[in-house]
Structure 1
Amino acid sequence: MITRIITGIIGIVLAAFVIQTGGTVFAGFALVLALLAWFEYVRAFSERGMGLTFGTGLAGITLLWYAGRYGNAELMMAVSTLIVLVILLESVLRHSVTSIMDAVTSIAGIFYFGFPFAYMVMLRDMQPGMMISTPLGAVPFGAALIWIMFVGTWASDTFAYFTGSALGRHKLCPSISPNKTVEGFLGSVVGTTASAAGLGVFFSLPVKELAVLGLAISILATLGDLVESVAKRYTGIKDSGNIIPGHGGIWDRFDSVLFTAPLVYYFVKIVGLTM
């Protein structure tokens, strides 16, 4: 537990530095995390004897990140098409080592990790000249969005855990994640909605819209966690890795964020969060 707490504190400090710095530092960290998560994904499915396209995946995720870094939606579409075609072609040219199931699972994993981390970069770079006043000083608009995404996701996990531990009686998805309860999920919904509304006050952003976003984050964060649980149950692994002492792997720590990052991005694009 001590190791987990110390690692958590170090992680928060590092995250704060990276988020506030933005630019190349934030984008670079996003790429590294995406590639590490992909490595864990490939290793997990190797436990089932699958040979995923590791090298092509590294290249594909990097290209998706590059497209996101420069906000080029057309390039992102072109890269996505290229990834699908190249990997399916691998299943033909290298059919002795890459089956069609290996290829399909590879494509899913590249998009699963590549898109969300690209969206994080695009979120941080959104309206770069816009500053938001807070009780602690001015914050770049993009940094505020990243904090909303992360704090909302962390709040979802935290409220679900403590509410479920105290009041949990009814299993949410016992065949996938035996420890999750309906009561924990409802606690996540209420707590995340309230936390997001509080962030609206802190960042001087529309409180009602942030509350709605918080509600959506609680649902998507739970689904993101369950998706990794399905994958881990299928591959037979307990943790995706041990790179973060006491917390497992990158995939373990970002499973919910993989779903909430695109959510926050499109919420801001469609609904808007400026006063």
Structure 2
Amino acid sequence: MLTRIITGVIGIALAAFVIQTGGTLFAVFALVLALLAWFEYVRAFAQRGHNLTFVLGLVALALIWGCGWLGNAEETMAVTTVAVLLMLLLSVLLHGRVTFTDAALSVAGVLYFGMPFSHMVLLRMADGPVLASPIGPFEFGCAMIWIMFIGTWASDTFAYFVGSAIGSHKLCPSISPGKTIEGFGGSLVGTTAATAGLGVFFGFPVFEMACLGLALSIFATLGDLVESVAKRETGIKDSGNIIPGHGGVWDRFDSVLFTAPIVYYFAILVLVNQ
């Protein structure tokens, strides 16, 4: 537990520095996280005898990230299309070594990690007004990244504590036996309130932010369940041990993979155009 706490404190401090700095530092960190998560994903499925297209996946993730950094949707579409077709084509060119299932799992992994982390970069770079807050001004993209992370963490935290205190009805027992309906209810209420509070803090419309909080709770839970399904499929408990006491990158960012795109489109469609 002590290791988990120490690692958590260091991780939060590092995250705060990277988020506040933004720019190239934030983008590079997002790329590193995507590549590490991909490595964990490939290793997990290798335990079930799958031979995923590791190197091509690395290249595809780097290119998708680069397109996100440039903010070019057409290039993103082109790179993604070529990467998907090439990975599927390897089941023909390397028939016997790479099965169609291996290629399909590779495509799923590259899209699963590449698109959300690219959206995270886009979110941090999003244009918008400088926001006044009780502790000083925030760039729009910086504020939205904080909302994404705090909302996601709030979902996990409220679900854990409420579920531990009063949880008795299983939410998805065949996928994640520890999750309860009561915990999910606590997540819905707590995340909605926390995100609405962030709306007050940054001067955003409270009702719209409360709606975002509700969506964050739902999608954070779904993101966690998706990784749980993958873990059951591959027979692993943790995706890695790179973060002492917390598992791997995939473990720590499974919910964020689902919430990052949600917050990005909310930001550009609701807040920027309000």
Name the TM-score class by shorter chain: over 0.9
- Encode CA deviations 1:104-157: one digit per residue, 9 max, x unaligned: 0000000000000000000000016x3111111111110000000000000000
Equivalent in the alignment of 2:138:
139
Equivalent in the alignment of 2:61:
61
Equivalent in the alignment of 2:229:
230
Paired with 1:23 and 1:268, the residues of 2 have a C-alpha distance of 18
Report the residue type matching 1:113 in the other structure.
F
Paired with 1:94 and 1:219, the residues of 2 have a C-alpha distance of 40
Q: Report how far residue 89 of structure 1 moved.
A: 1.1
Paired with 1:230 and 1:147, the residues of 2 have a C-alpha distance of 28
Report the residue type matching 1:34 in the other structure.
A
Q: Superposition pairs for residues 66-77 of structure 1, below 5 Å?
A: 66-77=66-77
Paired with 1:215 and 1:77, the residues of 2 have a C-alpha distance of 30
Q: Report how far residue 203 of structure 1 moved.
A: 0.9
- Encode CA deviations 1:206-247: one digit per residue, 9 max, x unaligned: 111111000000000000000000000010000000000000
- Encode CA deviations 1:77-123: one digit per residue, 9 max, x unaligned: 10111011111111111112110000000000000000000000000
Asked if 1:242 is matched to 2:245, the reply is: no
Unmatched segments (≥5 aa) in structure 1: none
Equivalent in the alignment of 2:46:
46
Paired with 2:272 and 2:93, the residues of 1 have a C-alpha distance of 48
Q: Report how far residue 274 of structure 1 moved.
A: 6.9
Equivalent in the alignment of 2:118:
118
Equivalent in the alignment of 1:195:
194
Paired with 1:112 and 1:5, the residues of 2 have a C-alpha distance of 29
Equivalent in the alignment of 2:256:
257
Q: Report how far residue 269 of structure 1 moved.
A: 2.1
- Encode CA deviations 1:30-78: one digit per residue, 9 max, x unaligned: 0000000000000000010000000000000001100100110001110
Report the residue type matching 2:60 in the other structure.
G
Equivalent in the alignment of 2:178:
179
Cα pair 1:171 1:180 within 8 Å, conserved: yes
Paired with 1:88 and 1:161, the residues of 2 have a C-alpha distance of 40
Paired with 2:15 and 2:200, the residues of 1 have a C-alpha distance of 22
- TM-score normalized by structure 1? 0.98
Cα pair 1:165 1:184 within 8 Å, conserved: yes
The alignment-based identity, stated in percent, is 69
The alignment of Structure 1 onto Structure 2 pairs a total of residues equal to 274
Cα pair 1:90 1:103 within 8 Å, conserved: yes
- TM-score normalized by structure 2? 0.98
3-state SS, counterpart of residue 137 of structure 1: coil
Q: Report how far residue 272 of structure 1 moved.
A: 2.0
3-state SS, counterpart of residue 227 of structure 1: helix
- Aligned alpha-carbon RMSD (Å): 1.0
Paired with 1:78 and 1:273, the residues of 2 have a C-alpha distance of 27
Equivalent in the alignment of 2:28:
28
Q: Report how far residue 268 of structure 1 moved.
A: 1.5
Report the residue type matching 2:131 in the other structure.
I
3-state SS, counterpart of residue 133 of structure 1: coil
Paired with 1:45 and 1:265, the residues of 2 have a C-alpha distance of 30
Equivalent in the alignment of 1:167:
166
Equivalent in the alignment of 2:147:
148
Equivalent in the alignment of 2:102:
102
3-state SS, counterpart of residue 217 of structure 2: helix
Equivalent in the alignment of 2:78:
78
Paired with 2:252 and 2:272, the residues of 1 have a C-alpha distance of 27
